[in-house]
Structure 1
C-alpha cells in the first residue's frame, strides 16, 4: 500500500487530466437499488444548482473496495469523490492524497459544520483540516429471523434485550436451541458472510468489546488480552463444538433465510423487503456481566487531490451532507449530525424501521466507539490474515493463535 500511495502521489499531474471538467465520478460500495436511487435524487438537486454538471455513481464490490480504489488512485484514474471506510481513512489521509474540505464546508450556505458530533468527526480531522465528512455512523446490530425463533419456542433478541437478558451467555445457549429446532439452518452468519476474510475484524470486534477488550488501542495489540481470548474462544466453540455459526468454507445467507441471525448495520435493512420472512433488529449482546459496548462502523465522503474538479467535487460533498441531505440518507445511513440524530424525523419517520429500533440505533451511536482504525491498516490486515486462517481450524489453540496475531501486527501498530 505504501508503494501504491507513493506512485499515486507522483501521478497527481497525470490524474488531474483524466476527468471531464463537468463530469464528477463518485465511487461507492453499494449496489442496492434503493441506495443508488436516493443518491441520484440528491445528485439531481446538486445538478439543478450547477447547470451542465453530471454526477455518475460507480459501484465497486465491498469485498475488495479499498484495494480497487487504491489501484485506481495509483493508476491515475481516481474518482473525484469516494466513499471511504473508517479502517482505510488514516492510510489515505497519511498519504496526502485527500483534499481539505473545510474551506468549502464552512462557506457552503446553511451547512453548520459544528453540527457534527466530535466523536463522529474525529477520524476525519487532522489538526485544522477536514479530509472527509461521515455520511454513515452506523452501529452494529443483530438482525434476526423471527420465524426461526418462533419455531424454537424462544424469545427473540429484542424481547430478551428489553428484559436485560440479552448477553453473550444467552446468545450461545439460544444458538444451540435454534439449530436443533431448525434443521439445516445456522444460528449466526458473520457480517456479510465475510467473517473469515474481508470482514474478519467485524467478526471479532463485537464479542471482544462485550468482554471488555479491543482489537488494538494506543499502539498496543489487544488480541491476546484475557478478554479477547475469552471472547474468541467462545466464538471458536460455537463454530466447531456447538456448530451454530456458519463455518469457514460454507455459506449461510441470513437474507435468504438460512441463518437465524447476523451482525450488520442499518443500511442492510434495504434488503429486507425481499427477504420473505418476519424479522427484527436488536442491540448486540452484552458482556456476561451486562456490560454494553456498542460498535460503530463509519464511512465518509472524501475528495481526491488529483481531481480536475476538486472545488466542484467538494461542493458536491457539501450538498450531500447538508442537514436536509443527511435527513434523507438517515433511512439507511445513521447520521453524525446532532440535529438530525435528535429529530422526530429520524426516530419516527423511517419507512423500514420502527421507532423502537431507531431509538436503539440512536442510543448506540451516542454510546458506541468506532471500529479501530490505523494508517497502516492494509498492512495490518495482510499480516493478520494467515494467522487468522490458522485460528479457524477445529484443533487450533485459541490463546496461542491470538498471540501469533499480536506478534505479527505489533510492529505495525
Structure 2
C-alpha cells in the first residue's frame, strides 16, 4: 500500500505546477514561519551543523524556524512521495540522484537560480542532473564519490597487504580486495567487505562495484536494460562468488558495521568519516579497487530542492540560498563534497575535514568527481527500484542461476524503461 501511494504521488507532481501563479510561489505571510526539511541522515554531527546554520539564519530572519526531519535511507523516497501525496509534504527536501528525473521533470520543485549566491561557481557536471529547460531545480549539495574505508589493524592481523601500498604499486584490484576480505573472514571470523547501505535491498549502491566491469543498469538513453549484458553477468557472478563461496562479504541477514570494527573494509562516502572520530582501530581511505575495465569512480549525488506544494515556498527558497551560500557550502564540505569549483580542491576541503588527509581527499574525492559516473537514475525511479529489487531477490542464494536471474530482471524492466 505504501509503495502504491508513492507511485500515486509521482502522478500528482504535475499538479504542483498549478495554483501558484504558473510556478511563482505565493506571497508569504508575515507571521511565524515553520519550515520542515526532510533529510536521510540522523548523524549527530550532521544535525548539529544543520541546526547551527539554521540558528544563524534565524538571527536575520527571526520569524523563521527550520526543523530537519530525518527519514530512513532505504525508504526515503517512498516516504517522501507518500507525504506529498497525503498533503503533508515538507518545504524542502534532499533528493536522491535516482529520483532526480521524476522530481526535476515533473513540476514538483521551484526554480532556485535566483536564490543562489554566486551560482556561476557551480560545476556544470554537478548541476546537469538537476536542470530542466535551462533552469536549476535543486542545488547539488553533495557530489560524493564512493571510496573504500579499510581497517588496517584487521588486515594486518590477517597477514594481508595494506591497500594504500597496493594503490601505490598499481595492484589494488577487485581480485585482490576480495582475496583480502576472504582472508580476514577465514582467519579472524570478522566480515571482509561491506557495501554500506546496500543490505541486499538498495541495489543501486552495487554500481560502486559493477562499474569496474563496464556494466550499467541501462543504456545512456535509458531505454535498454543492461542487467543481462555480458559485463553485468561477469560482475554479478564475481560478486556472488565473493559472497557465497569465498565468504569475502557477509551474506543476507548478517549485519557488520565497519565503523564499529565489525568488518575489514566498507564502500561508502566521506560523509561517514565522522563516525571514525573515536575509532579504536587504525584506518585508511583509498579509491575503489580497479576492475577488469581498469580504474573508475562512481559518484553518489544529492540535490536540495524546494517543494512547490510546500506551505512557504518563498521562505524555503530563501533559506536554501542561505544554506548553500559559499560560507555554508564550505562548512557542509566537511561531510558533503561541494559543487562549487572554488572549493573543490584538497587544500580547501582539508580545512573542514580534519579526519581526512589531503592525499585521501585528492585521490578519492577530487579525482573521483573529475572522472566518476553518477549512480543510476531514471524517470519512474520508485517503480523501477521496487521491480529490480524484487527481481534480484533470487540472486542472493548460494545456488542462484546468475544469468537466469539477470534475464528476469530485464524482462521485468523492459516495459518500465519504455514508458
What's the TM-score bracket when you normalise by the shorter of the two chains?
over 0.9
* Counterpart among 299, 303, 315 of residue 306 in structure 2: 303
TM normalised by structure 1 equals: 0.92
Unaligned runs of 5+ in 1: 106-110
Q: What is the aligned partner in structure 2 of residue 141 from structure 1?
A: 147
**Deviation at 1:104?**
2.4
CA distance in 2, matches of 1:6, 1:287: 40
Residue 216 of structure 2 is matched in structure 1 by 214
Pairwise CA distance, 1:77: 0.8
How far 1:94 sits from its partner (Å)?
3.0
SS of the residue corresponding to residue 352 of structure 1 reads coil
Secondary structure of 2:277's match?
Answer: helix
Flag the 1:324–1:18 CA change in 2: closer, same or farther, 3 A. closer
Cα displacement (A) at 1:152: 1.4
CA distance in 2, matches of 1:132, 1:381: 22
Whole-angstrom CA distance in 1 between matches of 2:72 and 2:307: 20
Q: 1:3: which partner in 2?
A: 8
Residues 17 and 117 (structure 1), Cα distance of their counterparts in 2 relative to 1, 3 Å cut = closer
Choose which of 349, 352, 355 in structure 1 pairs with 2:355.
352
The aligned counterpart of 2:166 is: 160
Q: Is contact 2:37–2:69 with CA below 8 Å preserved after alignment?
A: yes
How far off is 1:286 after superposition?
Answer: 0.7
| Secondary structure of 1:207's aligned partner | helix
Correspondence 1:190 to 2:195: yes
Q: Using the TM superposition, give the Cα deviation of residue 307 of structure 1 relative to its aligned residue in structure 2, in angstroms.
A: 2.0
TM-score of the aligned structures, taking structure 2 as reference length: 0.91
Cα RMSD (Å): 2.2
Unpaired stretches in structure 2, ≥5 consecutive residues: 1-5
Select which of 200, 203, 206 maps to 1:200.
203
1:272 to partner: Cα distance: 1.3
Instruction: Find out whether 1:409 has 2:418 as its counterpart.
Output: no
The answer to whether the Cα contact below 8 Å between 2:181 and 2:265 also exists between their aligned partners in 1 is no
Equivalent position SS for 1:316? helix
Give the aligned partner of residue 239 of structure 1: 243
Q: Tell me which residue corresponds to 1:22.
A: 33
In 2, the alpha carbon distance for the partners of 1:25 and 1:207 equals 35
CA–CA separation in structure 2 for the residues paired with 1:223 and 1:328: 39
Q: Is the 8 A contact 2:141 2:304 kept in 1?
A: yes
The answer on 1:313 being equivalent to 2:324 is no
Which piece of structure 1 moves more, 275-284 or 342-351?
A: 342-351
Which residue does 1:255 correspond to in 2? 259
Number of aligned residue pairs: give it.
403
Structure 1 CA distance for aligned equivalents of residues 209 and 271 of structure 2: 21
Shift of 1:260: 0.7
Using the TM superposition, give the Cα deviation of residue 381 of structure 1 relative to its aligned residue in structure 2, in angstroms: 1.1
Q: Contact 2:105–2:132 (CA<8 Å) still a contact in 1?
A: no
Matched with 2:103 is: 92
Structure 2 equivalent of residue 108 of structure 1: none
Distance 1:78 1:349 in 2: 33
| CA–CA distance in structure 1, aligned partners of residues 399 and 346 of structure 2 | 51
**How far is the alpha carbon of 1:249 from its aligned partner?**
1.7
User: Cα distance, 1:402 vs. partner?
Assistant: 1.1
Whether the aligned pair in 2 keeps the contact of 1:21 and 1:308 (CA below 8 Å) is: no
2:43 pairs with 1:32: yes
Q: Distance in 2 between matches of 1:241 and 1:375?
A: 36
Q: Which residue of 1 aligns with 2:286?
A: 282
* 201 and 153 in structure 1: CA distance in 2 versus 1, 3 angstrom threshold: same
Counterpart of 2:416 in 1: which secondary structure? coil
Q: CA deviation at 1:90?
A: 1.2
Residue 262 of structure 1: SS of its match in structure 2?
Answer: strand
CA distance in 1, matches of 2:410, 2:119: 38
The residue number in structure 2 matching 1:331 is: 334
4+ residue segments displaced more than 6 Å? 11-20
